[in-house]
Amino acid sequence: MGFKQDFVWGAATASYQIEGAAYEGGKGLSNWDVFCKQPGNIYENHNGDVACDHYHHLAEDVALMKELGIKAYRFSFSWPRLMPQGTGTVNPDGIRFYQTLIDELLQNGITPYATLFHWDYPYALQKRGGWLNPASPQWFAEYTETIIGLFGNKIKHFFTFNEPQCFIGLAFTGREMAPKLQVTRRDILQMAHNVLLAHGKAVQLLRAGVPGCKIGYAPTGSTYIPASNSAQDIEAARKATFTVDVNGDWPMGISWWSDPIFFGEYPAEAAQAFGDDMPAIGPNDMKIISQPLDFYGHNIYNSTPVKMGENGQPVVQAFKPGHPRTAVNWPITPEGLYWAPKFLHQRYKLPVIITENGLSCHDVVSLDGKVHDPNRIDFTQRYLQQLQRAAQDGVEVDGYFHWSLMDNFEWAKGYSERFGLIYVDFETQKRTPKDSFYWYASIINSNGSLL
């Protein structure tokens, strides 16, 4: 017993990180175009102007996906490429680009899993207040309707948002993500509410406009693993995973975002603690927000070990000196792919899809012309073994998307980090599948039995 027969083996990317062609084909400016041009925001002032130039390498990239053998490809639409001003006029070149991508995927037997929004926000809308503007859910609804009208006949799997924890939680507490502003807690709560409303409206529109489609979202949020197998430590890990840390980094947690979506209400204790900072909630808001979804997506890279403290509260445990880490210094914690899906499935009662998982390695092209990345193979094998264990334990796991298909623009870290299964030479745009690419292909081909 392992992964189900129709397990969705995939790989993921995001528009701004790979497309390039930032000023071509009628695309409007995004918040990231502008953010990258402000000195000091990005490692060595890199930007996504060209990135992997996927805009011009689309056919080659889909051919590589086919060689990899992925069943599904998770990509995101660039909102400003489709709607340069965010609302109103739709850009014909943008339509053509995504139409070609979707057709190529389908012709190659790869199912498109489309993310509506992976952080590249139309700059025109940012100037109008972005997610703080009360009209922002409606702008997103218009954008969603546009996508349904254009591509709803060909795409049957959707994610609304990627990681609101980052594009709100990090971006508006002054940390590394565009527009890197520090705003009040009240404003963050209001933006979060608008994002959740936008999500709910999009789900309603997709249900009506794309009959039979499957919908989820792709949050992240800190996950925890028990420091031992004792029942208390397991409980501590679960508790830590779902606690809203009202005096700490609550926007990076899971429950503030997912409880309203799946339970139709904000976590009560936290909402009370936020007091007057809570946004006004309209009579239908929670109903709109809590539209049923088909799976629980989660992006997961690492987890934090905890023990149950004597006061019944989880206590974070330090990693031992020398604990394995990725190139970007994230701790390697494969058991996270066992515990997080288990806790998420138990709480939200939906099949789980790992919408992102992977690591950055400082890969190089060796003298033999190949890219040897044993660390990526080892990491992915360990994580997938734990996901398999979760599936064997009865957790409904529907799929796994490796982050990322190819090396790309890693946000504030620019091109200093490489997350891909495919090496990209950013000077020549030459693609070289890494050893992990061939390894992952063999795992997919065996439906995980070679793990």
Which positions are catalytic? 163, 356
Q: Alpha-carbon distance 177 to 35, whole Å?
A: 9
Cβ(65)–Cβ(11) under 8 Å? yes
Determine if the peptide bond prior to 404 is cis (ω within 30°): yes
Query: Of the listed pieces 160-168, 230-238, 331-339, 431-439, which binds ligand BGC according to CB under 6 A?
Result: 160-168
Q: How far is the CB of 167 from ligand BGC (least distance, A)?
A: 9
Instruction: Give whichever of 91 and 220 is closer to ligand BGC, judged by the CB atom.
Output: 220
Site string for ligand BGC, 251-290 (x = CB under 6 A): ----------------------------------------
Token pair for 156:
């049957």
Contacts of 417 (CB under 8 A, 6+ apart): 327, 328, 360, 410
What spatial distance separates the first Cα and last Cα of the chain, rounded to whole Å?
Answer: 13
Choose which of 61, 233, 259, 356 interacts with ligand BGC (CB under 6 A).
356
Q: Is 19 in the site for ligand BGC (CB under 6 A)?
A: no
Of 166 and 354, which has the nearer Cβ to ligand BGC? 166
Burial of 5 (0-12, 13-18, 19+ CB in 10 A): exposed
The CB-of-446 to ligand BGC minimum distance in angstroms stands at 27
Q: Is the Cβ of residue 143 or residue 411 nearer to ligand BGC in the bound state?
A: 411
Tell me the per-residue interface mask from 105 to 144 with ligand BGC, x by CB under 6 A, - otherwise: ----------------------------------------
Nearest alpha carbon to residue 20 among 35, 32, 5 = 32
What are the b/e assignments for 114-142, b being 16+ CB within 10 Å?
Answer: bbbbbbbbbbbbbebebbebeebbebbbb
DSSP letter at 28 equals P
DSSP-derived 3-state class of residue 237: helix
CB of 218 to ligand BGC, least distance (A): 7
Q: Which stretch binds ligand BGC (CB under 6 A): 34-42, 105-113, 148-156, 158-166?
A: 158-166
326 binds ligand BGC (CB under 6 A): no
Size of the residue set binding ligand BGC (CB under 6 A):
11
Q: Which of 19, 61, 120, 163 binds ligand BGC (CB under 6 A)?
A: 163
Nearest residue (CB) to ligand BGC, 26 versus 336: 336
Tell me the one-letter amino acid at 99: Q
Query: Residue from 41, 87, 160, 220 that binds ligand BGC (CB under 6 A)?
Result: 220
Q: Does 223 bind ligand BGC (CB under 6 A)?
A: no
The reply to whether omega before 92 is within 30° of 0 (cis) is no
User: For residues 47-106, which are near ligand BGC according to CB under 6 A?
Assistant: none
Stretch that binds ligand BGC, among 22-30, 162-170, 183-191, 375-383 (CB under 6 A): 162-170
Minimum CB distance to ligand BGC smaller for 74 or for 347:
74
Select 242 or 419, whichever has its Cβ closest to ligand BGC.
419
Locate 29 and state its tokens. Answer: 């400016």
By the rule CB under 6 A, 380 interacts with ligand BGC = no
Query: Could you tell me if 384 and 446 are in contact, meaning their C-beta atoms sit under 8 angstroms apart?
Result: no
Out of 410, 415, 420, 448, the only residue in the binding site for ligand BGC (CB under 6 A) is 410
Contact 9, 74 (CB under 8 A): no
DSSP string, 306-340: EEE-TTSSEEE-PPPTT--B-TT--B--TTHHHHH
List contacts with ligand BGC (CB under 6 A): 14, 17, 162-163, 166, 220, 299, 356, 403, 410, 419
